[in-house]
Amino acid sequence: MASAHSRMRCGEFRTTYQQDMTIFPTPLSRRTAVGAIIFLLLAPSFLSPYLLNLGIQIGYYGIAALGLNIVVGFTGQISLGHAAFFGFGAFASAWINNTTGIPVFFCIPLAGAMTMAVGLIVGIPAGRIKGLYLAIATLASQFILEDFFSRADWFTGGAYGAMANPFSVFGFEFNNDQRYWYVVLFYVVAMFLLGTNLLRTRDGRAFVAVRDHYLSAEIMGINLNKYRILSFGISSFYAGVGGALFAHYLGFVSAEGFTILLSIQFLGMIIIGGMGSVMGSLMGTAFMVLLPEVMEAGVHLVGSNTPGLTQALAYIKEMSIGLAIILFLIFEPDGLAHRWKMIKAYWKLYPFSY
Amino acid sequence: MNFELLTQLLVNGIIVGTLYGVVAMCFVLIYKSTQIVNFAQGEFLLIGAWTCWALLVKFELPFYIGFPITLVFMLIFGILLQMVVLRPMIGEPIISVIMVTIGLSMFFQSLMSWMFGGYAKSYPQVFETQSINILGLQIQTAYVMSLVISVVIMIGFYYFFKHSKMGLAMRATAFNQQVAQSLGISVKKVFAASWAISALVSAMAGVVVGMVNGVSSALSFFGIKVFPVVILGGLDSIVGAIVGGLIIGVLENLAEFFDSQWLHLGNMYTIAPFYALVIILMIKPYGLFGTKDIERI
């Protein structure tokens, strides 16, 4: 029996709710996760700085994407203004650190909390409206926050941008890619565990109920207003933490980086990864971060004999993102997470799959 | 108080407002008949304007030949877009539909920038006189033309929906798809037609704006500005689109006026409609003329 459990299961053998709720359904999956984390802990010693940089990007964008997935994928509320919250977190962390001198170590969660407060305020309309109308309202909030960034000199440094100090613990500065990797890894593991666990609580189940049928959820005693606004708040918290990590990695935050384009990319991440899937958020982020790099490599490969292609690189990158979103929605609307599940299902009963 | 500036801005507001109204009408047309929110509406303007520009400048066609070719191109483009991209999306959740049009908007915007460059390019001279004098106000000829075209389009829409067979079929489809289908209306054709008409009319608006301000990717911002307009007017009301367009057009010019006279905050022209949008959503989420959703379990 024990040996059968250590591998993948060939069917559904869950008999208790406890088994249904576990994070790791089999010992194998737990060992894989632990192994992956050990691998990532050792990674800085042998990965090139370029790959480390990409990994760090996947980390902080992935945290923000998980936040967006909580509001869009789990609660079914559409948010087109996630980049503004991401930006707010970045500015907030730099601002707290620069004005009060609180160490960066505490600034990152504080920035998350501050962004959460803003998200709760922006989320108030979400209690009243839904679907399309909400999408448009969050679009407006994106533009209003962007305008605020360029206007509020005291907070963002206006046109000059804000400087962000490097992350440090007891005077030890995490100022290069190898060191910052661990900060991001810590936050990714913590935030993804938090996210997975959130969905196993009453609140998480309430989110899913609101998504699946909001009227039935309300009849069953779920306070719609509360959970809609709460999911906005939690998603903003994730965005804020992701943004703060971004700020202290780059060391400089400027208001131009948080446009509607980034919001669309965040949405693209969760669509490509799979809406309503925690690990899907990370897969989609990896896809979205790596896609432009692949396009760049491809363009350089053929660019030598096609003139004008290298100049158009920025446009090609953008086009590829737009195209990826369209193609995924048409051919794989459930995203990479679903594809991964299908692959696993195929191997479950491998030689006898009928 | 600078009355001359105020009246000039008000007239500008009305003219730009009618253009917003036309674009919003196209947006509403698609939403009403196919239940799709088109985030790529601004790109229709952009594609139309660049196509016409290319025909006029690159191929040196006269305006009266280039413009109709543009319209025919957009008609076909709209139908193809609906068939290839939007038809598989029927029955998908709202977020997928929204994202697909956002993806389209991203794709076409960067494609246009790639093909025509990122800088604004101006149209060749179409009219002999640059601006004419009406009651002491200088108004650009292209603006007058845009006003005329907009009003003609609006009347055309009215006639189309009230008296033509296709218009009737569209209204029936908007009312209830299944009932329309059972009465022998080809819903597929209606969907294709609404995208085609929307693309065509948006392209007209794009060419008009291009003539006044030059063509650049800034044109696609019209597609974003359309949201305050349709929310104010009601997402599924054609009359609402026109009224909303006029109000938002005047509102942003008034905001500009107050800002330049007293507030000096800057950027109010772009941002004021979005504040208006949030306020409208808080007090009257279904707009002035929109139908209220009533759900049953």
Is B133 inside any structural domain? no
* Residues in a beta bridge with A172: A169
> A252: distance to nearest CA of chain B, Å?
25
Give the count of domains, chain B: 1
Q: Which residue has the higher pLDDT, B198 or B33?
A: B198
Q: Is B294 exposed, middle or buried (0-12, 13-18, 19+ CB in 10 A)?
A: exposed
Please write the tens of the pLDDT for every residue from A304-337: 667 677 778 888 888 999 999 999 999 988 889 8
- Overall average pLDDT of the B95-122 stretch: 88
pLDDT averaged over every residue in chain B: 85
CA gap A36, A33 in Å, rounded: 5
In sequence order, the 6+-apart residues with CB closer than 8 A to the CB of B67 are: B52, B207
> Is the CB of residue A282 less than 8 Å away from at least one CB of chain B?
no
Q: What is the largest CA-CA distance in chain A?
A: 66
| pLDDT of A258 higher than 50 | yes
CA gap B247, B18 in Å, rounded: 9
Contact B202, B45 (CB under 8 A): yes
pLDDT averaged over every residue in chain A: 86
Is B148 inside any structural domain? yes
- Overall average pLDDT of the A272-288 stretch: 92
CA gap B133, B141 in Å, rounded: 9
CA gap A185, A308 in Å, rounded: 39
Is B260 inside any structural domain? yes
Please write the tens of the pLDDT for every residue from B115-133: 888 788 888 776 666 677 7
CA gap A321, B99 in Å, rounded: 12
Interface test with B, best of A147, A229, A265, A306 (most B CBs within 10 A): A147
In sequence order, the 6+-apart residues with CB closer than 8 A to the CB of A236 are: A67, A85, A88, A115, A116, A118, A119, A120, A122, A123
Cβ of A140 within 8 Å of Cβ of B278? The answer is: yes
Identify the band that residue A155 occupies on the pLDDT scale cut at 50, 70 and 90: confident
Residue A333: the pLDDT is: 87
CA distances A201 to A169, A213, A222, B176, B194, Å, are 33, 19, 14, 41, 46
Q: Is B103 exposed, middle or buried (0-12, 13-18, 19+ CB in 10 A)?
A: buried
Residue B74 one-letter amino acid: M
| Nearest by Cα to B222 from B270, B279, B275 | B270
Is B289 inside any structural domain? no
Please write the tens of the pLDDT for every residue from B223-259: 888 889 998 888 888 888 999 999 999 998 888 888 8
Is B52 inside any structural domain? yes
Question: DSSP letter string over B146-189?
Answer: HHHHHHHHHHHHHHHHHH-HHHHHHHHHHH-HHHHHHTT--HHH
Please write the tens of the pLDDT for every residue from A195-226: 999 988 999 999 999 999 888 899 999 998 89
Cβ of A78 within 8 Å of Cβ of B89? The answer is: no
Alpha-carbon Rg for chain A in angstroms? 21
Question: CB-CB: which of A133, A260, A267 is closest to B99?
Answer: A267
Helix axes B141-163, B3-34, angle to 10 degrees: 30
Which residue range(s) make up the domain with B267?
3-118+142-283
Q: What is the CATH number of the domain that holds B86?
A: 1.10.3470
Least confident range from A241-250, B19-28, B134-143, B146-155: namely B134-143
Q: Which residue has the higher pLDDT, B7 or B142?
A: B7
Is B230 inside any structural domain? yes
With b meaning 16 or more CB within 10 Å and e meaning fewer, what string describes A165-202? bebbeeeeebeebeebbebbbebbeebbeebeebbeee
Q: Choose from A21-25, A153-157, A288-292, B84-88 the range with maximum mean pLDDT.
A: A288-292
| Nearest by Cα to A337 from A287, A295, A290 | A287
| pLDDT of A1 higher than 60 | no
For chain A, the residue count is 354
> B75: distance to nearest CA of chain A, Å?
22
Please write the tens of the pLDDT for every residue from B263-276: 767 677 788 888 88
Residue A230: the pLDDT is: 92
CA gap B23, B34 in Å, rounded: 17
* Residues in a beta bridge with A173: A168
Is B132 inside any structural domain? no
Question: CB-CB: which of B106, B224, B235 is closest to A322?
Answer: B106
Contact B220, B42 (CB under 8 A): yes
Backbone φ and ψ of B183, nearest 5°: -90, 10
Identify the band that residue B136 occupies on the pLDDT scale cut at 50, 70 and 90: low
Q: Which two tokens stand for residue B126?
A: 């179409």
CA distances A88 to A112, A125, A285, B275, Å, are 9, 19, 20, 19
In sequence order, the 6+-apart residues with CB closer than 8 A to the CB of B171 are: B161
Contact A245, A59 (CB under 8 A): yes
Is B129 inside any structural domain? no
| Nearest by Cα to B241 from B255, B252, B225 | B225
Helix axes A260-273, A49-69, angle to 10 degrees: 90
Residues of B in contact with A133 (CB under 8 A): 231, 235, 281, 285
